[in-house]
Amino acid sequence: MTGHGSVGGSRVFISSVMRDYSDRRTAAEQAVRFLGMEPVLAEDLVASGGAPREVILNDVIPDCDAFLGIYGSRYGWTGAKSSHSPTEEEYDRARELFKPIYAFIDRTDNEDIEPRQQDFLQKVQNWDVGVLRREFTTTRELQEMVAEALSKSRLSPCYRHFLRRLIKEIHNINGLVFHEKDQPFSPCFDLILHCPSSQLTGNDDFFVAVVSGDEYNRQQISQARHSWFEDVNRQIGAGFWKARGAYLQLLIVAERNPFALTKADLEKDKRIGSSTNFEEVFVNLSASSMDLAPGIPSWVHPLRDAIKRCLE
């Protein structure tokens, strides 16, 4: 997926210490990939004739479009050719090349910050031009922050109000209890609500996902939905040997509607696959109206009524 208004299709270098940081690096990598960009990590680089330090500083970082640094309490090792850690050298190189730099400060552990790392963090936090600095306490937060930083997505007050109302209205519909869902992660979906298969006679998990039609066009939404649903069906075990899938009600919510989405767009690509049922609803906040894709089953009508109440 390529984020609207982002550096979509770009290469993003991910910098951090290696030891005990695989979960943070993976979280950032997933967020970058979901936005249709290419994450570049030192551990994935193809072997070449040059020393890793020289290749990364002189070839890899110059060839990237953005730089993402994840910094915690440890400074890291220093090599024979430099008194600085790889993370500090990588940061300095990106700054020297005037790359867009996004810094994320790790607050997930209670370890004391090493003295040299304190100095490095002070340098990062004191440099104000072109750096977005955020603190995170979970990998989920890190994913959301990376996605927001790279996509420059901003939710309008009207859209935020709709999301809050939807959570309240849909929490309990006809005895079905929906809960907010964090995984699988999709940075373009601003809200995911889940009703597990144990509550449904059809043995299908039921998801309601919300995406901004002001931030993403039709193609981007379709790509994101395909990727996310593949992850969902893998997670719940759907497939040829298990007759269990997922039902997705995707709400495309627009206020300005810059991509001119219409009801006709909802009629395309209704079916994702044999184990997946998919329906779309287009919600126009400025007109307080909604359009449904044809053929929505009657048992979903209470959800439709809940959406209408959110527009009142």
Are 72 and 110 within 8 A, CB to CB?
no
Q: How many residues does the chain have?
A: 312
CB 159 within 8 A of CB 212: yes
Q: Which pLDDT belongs to residue 295? A: 58
Nearest alpha-carbon partner for 146 in 55, 66, 229, 233: 66
Helix (H) or strand (E) holding 192: strand 189-195
Q: Are 270 and 278 contacting, i.e. CB atoms less than 8 angstroms apart?
A: yes
CA dihedral over 295, 298, 299, 302, signed as positive or negative: positive
Buried b (16+ CB within 10 A) or exposed e, 114-136: eebbeebbeebeeeeeebebeeb
pLDDT of residue 298: 58
293 within 8 A of 304, measured Cβ to Cβ: no
* Cα Rg of the chain, angstroms: 22
pLDDT in tens, the chain (312 residues): 333 333 345 789 999 999 899 999 999 999 998 888 889 999 888 666 678 889 999 999 998 888 999 999 999 988 767 889 999 999 999 888 878 788 999 998 778 999 999 999 988 876 544 466 889 999 999 998 998 888 764 567 788 789 888 988 887 777 778 888 766 666 678 888 888 877 766 667 888 889 888 877 887 788 778 777 777 777 776 544 344 567 788 899 999 898 888 877 765 554 433 334 677 889 999 999 888 766 555 556 778 888 889 998
Question: What is the rounded CA–CA span in Å between residue 287 and residue 269?
Answer: 25
